Amino acid sequence: MVEDPASINQVVAGEIQKALLLAIDHQGVISDSFQIYCADLLEETYYRNDYLPFWSDTGLFRPVINQLIGYLDTASYDGLFQNDYHYNDIKYITRLLKTDSLKKADAALWTKADLLLTDAFMRVALHLKQGRLRPDSSSWLTDSTKYNSFFIPQFNRLFKNEDLGAMIASIHPVHQGYRQLRSLVKPFVDSMDTQSYTYVRYPFIEGNEKDSLRFIAQLQIRLSESDFLKLNPEEYADSAKLADAITKYQKKKKLTPDGKYTAALVKNLNLTDKEKYKRLAITLDRYKLLPDSMPQQYIWVNLPAYTLVLHDSDSIALQSRIICGKPATPTPQLTSAISDLVIYPTWTVPASIIKKEMLPGLKRNSNYLDRKGLGLYTADGERIDPSTINWSKYSKGIPYKIQQGSGDHNALGVIKFNFDNPYFVYLHDTNQRYLFKNSMRALSHGCVRVQEWKKLAAFIARNDSLNLKVGDSLKYTADSITNWIANKERHRIAVKQKLPLYIRYFTCASVDGKLKFYDDFYGDDKLLREKYFSK
């Protein structure tokens, strides 16, 4: 205990230095009830200040503390979780130090308060700027150059009487989609149902009585939590009573009221407001993985929304429905650029599809490829009769190419948009255009089928023409593409102004000023939720 307030700063400085030495040696742990997340960063920050406290002076808190606590009070509006920033400990300790005259002389308590406040600020800044989805190896906390270029300058701004709200605004990403989505978080949080509900695992293991009973028990508990089913503890509802409860729930949620438990029902039961909030937090963090500024022109494909949007400066040049990979063969998330177009393309079947689909089909019937309109070829392009091959000796792959010739019945349709990637995927037309009317369009082997391929090709041609350099020539136009397709001519066109492409997985967005959630059909958000937000 320090009786003289005038000397408490120096005592606290010594305690801070000792605490940080412990934290660095023990992965942030200072004691059983005291842990910080940014130990190395805090060591650098306090070293520059001779380990003196930042948030208090001679036993009194500086006014800036109210700004930080005020921000933490509403951190959920930015997709953050208060418990990640020592919120309860900070509130408790600061209240003690403000109100308890004996505690005001406790240097250890002032030390703990100062370190927790600084650690909270640094972690807030990290999560607002970089997000939480990066691997530890690429976190700014492991990059000491970022201490001088980002963290410490931001911290110093706070202690130069700069408004914390203005600082926070300057840290947020500037992407329009991020700003629009973030603007909808506050109204969602203010009205959200904060009750915790039982998570129902589905499907259960067919034929496994224990697992099916587990599912029924979880389903009943979940329905009872929403007051659709009244049960005593350990009681099981009969099938009629359970069906009636399910029907009531389905009517309330505007689902087909058939009284049956299905994947769609369970998905709806599990998508509580708390789960939606985690999806919001994940999507805001996905934006933070993008570059600080986007190109002037780029294609944005959002898989869960089944949409392609072509951005040109500050306007949208076109929007299109897409079909993407089914969950068994998901479309990869990637960044690339459209490099060339192929009119009336052939389709060479990827090795993964040959192994999973073609080879089993050939083993069943050597005429399998003929029925699919596919041909078998050697590496040199010589066509082979599949009936002459002993397919039973192959299991992991085949030493041949399987290819579909160009034409209206080709799986790629009449045009393909190539871009560099290691996954052998591309944008293309399709010979199954009727599928674009489906609401669920995760149907392909991984490539992205584009409904408005004509408009996309026309934009690329027009863009190349408008940006033609003096003395250069262009071997194609939008009209020539139209004519080649009409005449069923095969052409490969190099794109001069390569068009950046971003394929991403964002399961919520601002649509016409309203919050919209998309189906997490690849389960990516579920994996991220369990990894980063399980607590």
**Domains defined for the chain, CATH in brackets:** 5-172 (no CATH), 294-345+411-504 (2.40.440.10), 347-404 (no CATH)
Mean pLDDT within 75-90: 97
Torsion sign, CA atoms 437, 440, 443, 446: positive
Residue 534: predicted pLDDT: 74
Instruction: Give percent above pLDDT 90 in the chain.
Output: 76
Mean pLDDT within 218-240: 87
- Could you give the C-alpha distances from 422 to 170, 252, 269, in angstroms and in order? 36, 46, 38
Residue with tokens 């209240």: 95
All residues at 6 or more sequence positions from 493 whose CB lies less than 8 Å from its CB, including other chains: 340, 341, 342, 343, 475, 476, 481
All residues at 6 or more sequence positions from 345 whose CB lies less than 8 Å from its CB, including other chains: 406, 410, 412, 415, 416, 428, 490
Residue 232: predicted pLDDT: 76
Dist CA 2 CA 103 (whole Å): 10
**b/e 247-258 (16+ beta carbons within 10 angstroms → b):** bbbbeeeeeeee
Dist CA 162 CA 426 (whole Å): 49
Residue 341: predicted pLDDT: 97
CB 110 within 8 Å of CB 1: no
Query: Residue 535 pLDDT > 80, yes or no?
Result: no
Name the maximum alpha-carbon separation found in the chain: 97
Q: Residue 210, class by beta-carbon neighbours within 10 Å (0-12 exposed, 13-18 middle, 19+ buried)?
A: exposed
Residue 79: predicted pLDDT: 97
DSSP lists the bridge partners of residue 93 as: none
Query: Tell me, what amino acid is at 532?
Result: Y
Residue 465: predicted pLDDT: 92
All residues at 6 or more sequence positions from 423 whose CB lies less than 8 Å from its CB, including other chains: 332, 334, 446
- Could you give the C-alpha distances from 308 to 257, 314, 316, 500, 503, in angstroms and in order? 34, 16, 11, 13, 9
Residue 49: predicted pLDDT: 96
pTM of the model: 0.90
Residue 470: predicted pLDDT: 79
**pLDDT grade for 91, boundaries at 50, 70 and 90:** very high
Dist CA 168 CA 234 (whole Å): 50
CB 2 within 8 Å of CB 42: no
All residues at 6 or more sequence positions from 40 whose CB lies less than 8 Å from its CB, including other chains: 24, 141, 144
Mean pLDDT within 212-234: 89
Please tell me the total number of residues recorded for the chain in this structure.
535
DSSP lists the bridge partners of residue 428 as: 416, 449
Nearest to 196 by CA among 226, 230, 235: 226
In the structure encoding, which two tokens stand for residue 217, read together? Answer: 């028990």
Residue 405: predicted pLDDT: 86
Nearest to 56 by CA among 48, 47, 68: 68
Residue 136: predicted pLDDT: 86
The C-alpha angle with vertex 287 and arms to 535 and 302, in degrees rounded to 5, equals: 105
Query: Residue 102 pLDDT > 90, yes or no?
Result: no
- Could you give the C-alpha distances from 415 to 259, 435, 451, 484, in angstroms and in order? 46, 17, 11, 11
CB 155 within 8 Å of CB 55: no
Residue 3: predicted pLDDT: 64
Mean pLDDT within 278-304: 96
Residue 380: predicted pLDDT: 84
Residue with tokens 């009943």: 220
Worst-scoring range by mean pLDDT, 7-11, 315-319, 412-416? Answer: 7-11
Sheet of strand 383-384, all strands in order from the earlier edge strand to the far edge: 347-348, 401-404, 375-377, 383-384
Mean pLDDT within 511-529: 94
